[in-house]
């Protein structure tokens, strides 16, 4: 049975939905966290480091949803500041140097909106990630785990393949924001969620999502380890496949993946 966007929205808001803190130990081995952007600071909204999966070293860059208020305060509810995106880029460049595939785990309502974020160039940080990931000479795989919110998600989602957990949503703005801006009525959130076409199935149709990873019935929280196994199986398969493609072809395919998205006519 296909669930509606609203039903999926409820599932991903489930308090016990697994986060990267659950998935990373279940999917990877030897995870070694690396901190800081070497420019300003260390952003706890992004957890990053090197690990192995099926014996292959990879760089992992993950957005951290907290499992409780305390964790969320620490990770700023998974809303990165510019230094978070710059840390991600530093680690991505490091991965390129050492020929490690990059795995991005996306789970954010969006980039943080605040005075300090503006002062330190939130727009520039996201823009640079998008441009640099486009030509990063190593395979990049992004998996949307829950919420993929706008530019804040895209900064970790310029990739060779984008996978989404079955109930994950990925959108240009939150349904609430959409309703509030276009209809001046945030209460029409559910209507917006249905209209916006933000489920994994919708995004496959738009050519944005390449793979839907199954969740247990009712959602990932019903069986986190089974969900982790599904993610792991997909990653192992995708890494094996993408590392076999020569780098020029890989980058051309990555460029074309985004190049072809757009809906218009020409007389």
Partner 1 sequence: MLEDLFKTVKDRFNAEKSETEKVKAPEIPKDLLFKCPRCQSVIFMDEFEKRRKTCPSCNYHARLSWKERLEITADKDSFEPFDEKMNSLNPIGFPEYEKKIKSLQEANDINDAIATGVCTIRGYKTVIGIMDSNFMMASMGSVVGEKITRAFEYATENKLPVILFTASGGARMQEGIVSLMQMAKTSGAVKRHSDAGGLYITVMTDPTTGGVTASFASLGDIILAEPKVLIGFAGRRVIQDTIKQKLPDDFQSAEFLLQSGFVDAIVERKGMRKALSNILRLHNYKKQSDSWQHG
Measure the CA–CA gap between 217 and 65, rounded to whole angstroms.
22
245 scored as a contact of partner 1 (CB under 8 A):
no
State the minimum distance, in angstroms, from the CB of residue 82 to partner 1: 9
Measure the CA–CA gap between 52 and 78, rounded to whole angstroms.
24
* Candidate list 41, 121, 186, 216; residue touching partner 1; CB under 8 A: 121
Total chain residues near partner 1 (CB under 8 A): 50
Kindly indicate which of the ranges 16-24, 29-37, 49-57, 199-207 contains the residues binding partner 1, using the contact rule CB under 8 A: 199-207
Restricted to residues 1-30, the positions that interact with partner 1 (CB under 8 A) are none
138 scored as a contact of partner 1 (CB under 8 A):
no
State the minimum distance, in angstroms, from the CB of residue 162 to partner 1: 10
Best CA proximity match to 62, nearest among 191, 231, 238? 231
State the minimum distance, in angstroms, from the CB of residue 206 to partner 1: 6
196 scored as a contact of partner 1 (CB under 8 A):
yes
172 scored as a contact of partner 1 (CB under 8 A):
yes
- 163, 178, 212, 213, 230 from 202: Cα distances, Å: 13, 17, 11, 14, 21
Which DSSP category does 173 fall into?
A: S
Residue 212 near residue 200 (C-beta atoms within 8 A): yes
User: How is residue 200 written in tokens?
Assistant: 């994994």
State the minimum distance, in angstroms, from the CB of residue 202 to partner 1: 8
122 scored as a contact of partner 1 (CB under 8 A):
yes
State the minimum distance, in angstroms, from the CB of residue 87 to partner 1: 17
Kindly indicate which of the ranges 17-25, 43-51, 189-197, 236-244 contains the residues binding partner 1, using the contact rule CB under 8 A: 189-197
130 scored as a contact of partner 1 (CB under 8 A):
yes
Report how far Cα 242 is from the mean position of its chain's Cα atoms: 18
259 scored as a contact of partner 1 (CB under 8 A):
yes
186 scored as a contact of partner 1 (CB under 8 A):
no
Residue 206 near residue 49 (C-beta atoms within 8 A): no
Contact letters (x/-) for partner 1, 33-72, by CB under 8 A?
----------------------------------------
212 scored as a contact of partner 1 (CB under 8 A):
no
Based on its alpha-carbon atoms, the radius of gyration of the chain, rounded to whole angstroms, reads 18
- 57, 169, 194 from 206: Cα distances, Å: 32, 14, 16
Beta bridge partners of 213: 165
Kindly indicate which of the ranges 63-71, 100-108, 132-140, 212-220 contains the residues binding partner 1, using the contact rule CB under 8 A: 132-140
User: How is residue 242 written in tokens?
Assistant: 């993408």
Residue 127 near residue 154 (C-beta atoms within 8 A): no
Report how far Cα 164 is from the mean position of its chain's Cα atoms: 9
Measure the CA–CA gap between 159 and 89, rounded to whole angstroms.
13
Where does this chain bind partner 1 (CB under 8 A)? 111, 113-115, 117-124, 126-128, 130-132, 134-135, 150-151, 154-155, 158, 170-173, 178, 181-182, 195-198, 202-203, 206, 208, 255, 258-259, 261-267
């Amino acid at each position: 049975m296909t669930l509606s966007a609203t039903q999926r929205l409820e599932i991903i808001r489930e308090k016990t939905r697994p986060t990267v803190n659950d998935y990373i130990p279940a999917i990877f081995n030897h995870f070694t966290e690396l901190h800081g952007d070497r420019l300003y600071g260390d952003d706890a909204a992004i957890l990053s480091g090197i690990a192995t999966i099926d014996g292959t070293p990879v760089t992992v860059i993950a957005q951290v949803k907290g499992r409780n208020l305390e964790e969320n305060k620490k990770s700023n509810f998974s809303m990165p500041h510019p230094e978070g995106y710059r840390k991600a880029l530093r680690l991505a460049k490091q991965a390129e140097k050492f020929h490690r595939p990059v795995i991005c785990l996306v789970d954010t309502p969006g980039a943080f909106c605040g005075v300090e974020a503006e002062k330190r160039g939130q727009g520039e940080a996201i823009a640079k990630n998008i441009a640099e990931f486009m030509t990063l000479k190593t395979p990049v795989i992004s998996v949307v785990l829950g919420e993929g919110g706008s530019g804040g998600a895209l900064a970790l989602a310029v990739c060779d393949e984008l996978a989404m957990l079955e109930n994950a949503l990925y959108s240009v703005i939150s349904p609430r924001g959409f309703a509030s801006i276009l209809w001046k009525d945030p209460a029409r959130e559910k209507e917006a969620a249905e209209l916006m076409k933000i489920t994994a199935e919708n995004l496959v149709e738009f050519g944005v999502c390449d793979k839907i990873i199954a969740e247990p019935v009712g959602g990932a929280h019903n069986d986190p380890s089974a969900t982790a196994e599904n993610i792991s199986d997909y990653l192992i398969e995708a890494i094996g496949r993408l590392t076999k493609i020569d780098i020029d072809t890989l980058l051309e395919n990555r460029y074309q993946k985004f190049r072809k998205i757009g809906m218009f006519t020409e007389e």
